[in-house]
Structure 1
């Protein structure tokens, strides 16, 4: 079976990318004009959580948005988008209505055009939450450039959002796929392997090292698959197909507690029987598995 882009959930993030309007971030008059436009919409972020009402993330007019750190997200189809980052205690409504981004991932394929905006908003909210003081003099930082810069009012040192590169890989041997599970996951959850790139390391070598460290399998050829922003809290997931040269598994017991090879028949049977849960939604891990499987994953609508 052939797998087209329509069956690869992570592709939605690039297909529906918004214009980030980077040149407008320091134009205060333009920002105020856009904020006053009744057509402008705002995503409200409480700390690093989003509100969900009736299964949807509310998109409010700027006039109804609570006061907070104002962040320009950009524009789609003539609509300007902002985020307003507020303290959790200032969030409107019931605290139970506010959920982390991970809780929304399974629902995002139904509104793929929102995914890039949500990832952008949460990524900046996570950065604002973690980067509150100047690393040089410990002075509280001040938001600038429509939320995309934090500057120290004392020593004038600027901080900018950072992204950590991480590799995620579908390890294959012949027609089989290697999946693993972490100790903290539910007992039936399995996924592709992943890990962070270390300083001075190529992405391909990061794939080989992580697979060897986590499951003791030696990898030879590594081919690029695609990438996905992953603001949990600040990663860029770089997907690869890794071709294994050995099959013997020796899990490290720390990052990975169990791993095994699956044929397509074994994989489909385990998912259909409810014995195994695999990534869904816009996750690039889901795309990597679907690409190997050759079609929609079992149980997909």
Structure 2
């Protein structure tokens, strides 16, 4: 059970990839005729993903990533996997599907240009450029996570034989040993640790130059979220954490994570950094953190962009 939950934080409004108006109709996905009837409706729209890039119509003025069935035919996608996303209850129950296919990365751009005003863009870049509405970004997150799972789970983990798509894209069945496989979502904790008017942030080695962010890590088997927060902070920075407060969660489909966000209160402040994992960790005052999140710090240091839950965890601290 989560320790405590902050009030008055609307995660769906604040967090990228967290908005969805789709009813996924999980109980009806096994009905192949029902799913097919939805797919064939003229009002149905498709998200098309080539490798890890979503296909955009560069000339469209409204939701350029959503396509009619005619575009599927035009692109002649022979090896695509179709995934039912759901019905949009805010748009007259319009059906939405995703189609994921593998393409030659070196020739993809040229092939798309032959077919029309199309280009492929990665999900992170789409979000950073606000190139899709928040509702469509939520659909993209769903499509990206499930689509990537299909790519990496085509063989049965029990007997090694090829598997088949089932349940409108939410299951793979092994015809050899009858095993059933389902998409997985890996939970990770992400946390801003505070001590009075200071907060703890760090730099993993892969982070962009000048960026400091919240600490984070995967939840291990048999571990609660709260204990994962305490363990990861102690392992990475040598700081002991007491009270842990749940803030919000965010789908993070890179490839299939759910980021569970917390604030934690430090019991100690001395740092003992694990330099195998972290380039640096520092305590920052609330004043300095506010400048960093606004991009106004004299040091030139900044915080992560607002598409990430890390940004929101930091922002909440600076506004308290």
Q: Same fold (TM over 0.5)?
A: yes
Deviates more, 1:53-62 or 1:208-217: 53-62
Question: Counterparts in 2 of 1:217-228, with a 5 A limit?
Answer: 217-228=239-250
Q: Tell me which of 232, 237, 242 is aligned to 1:215.
A: 237
Partner residue in 2 for 1:277 = 302
Say if 1:8 and 1:286, in contact at 8 Å, map to a contact too: no
Cα-Cα RMSD: 2.6
What's the offset of the Cα at 1:9? 2.2
Question: Counterparts in 2 of 1:248-267, with a 5 A limit?
Answer: 248-267=270-289
Note closer, same or farther for the CA distance 1:12–1:34 as it changes in structure 2 (3 Å cut): same
Say if 1:124 and 1:161, in contact at 8 Å, map to a contact too: yes
Q: Tell me which of 167, 171, 175 is aligned to 1:153.
A: 175
Matched residues in 1 for 2:181 and 2:16: separation? 30
Stretches of structure 2 lacking an aligned partner (at least 5 in a row): 1-6
What's the offset of the Cα at 1:254? 2.0
The secondary structure found in structure 2 opposite 1:88 is coil
Matched residues in 2 for 1:48 and 1:11: separation? 18
Question: Counterparts in 2 of 1:238-253, with a 5 A limit?
Answer: 238-253=260-275
Matched residues in 1 for 2:85 and 2:10: separation? 26
Stretches of structure 1 lacking an aligned partner (at least 5 in a row): 296-301
Pairing 1:93–2:112 present: yes
What's the offset of the Cα at 1:51? 2.8
Pairing 1:188–2:210 present: yes
Matched residues in 2 for 1:283 and 1:254: separation? 24
What's the offset of the Cα at 1:11? 7.5
Partner residue in 2 for 1:71 = 83
Taking structure 1 as the reference length, the TM-score comes to 0.88
The secondary structure found in structure 2 opposite 1:272 is coil
Matched residues in 1 for 2:224 and 2:273: separation? 23
What's the offset of the Cα at 1:88? 2.2
Deviates more, 1:54-63 or 1:42-51: 54-63
The secondary structure found in structure 2 opposite 1:253 is coil
Corresponding residue pairs, total: 293
The secondary structure found in structure 1 opposite 2:47 is strand
Say if 2:85 and 2:96, in contact at 8 Å, map to a contact too: yes
1:19-73 deviation per Cα after TM superposition (whole angstroms, max 9, x unaligned): 1111231222222221121111100011222234549652101232243111100
Partner residue in 2 for 1:83 = 98
Matched residues in 2 for 1:207 and 1:57: separation? 39
Note closer, same or farther for the CA distance 1:75–1:237 as it changes in structure 2 (3 Å cut): same
Question: Counterparts in 2 of 1:196-215, with a 5 A limit?
Answer: 196-215=218-237
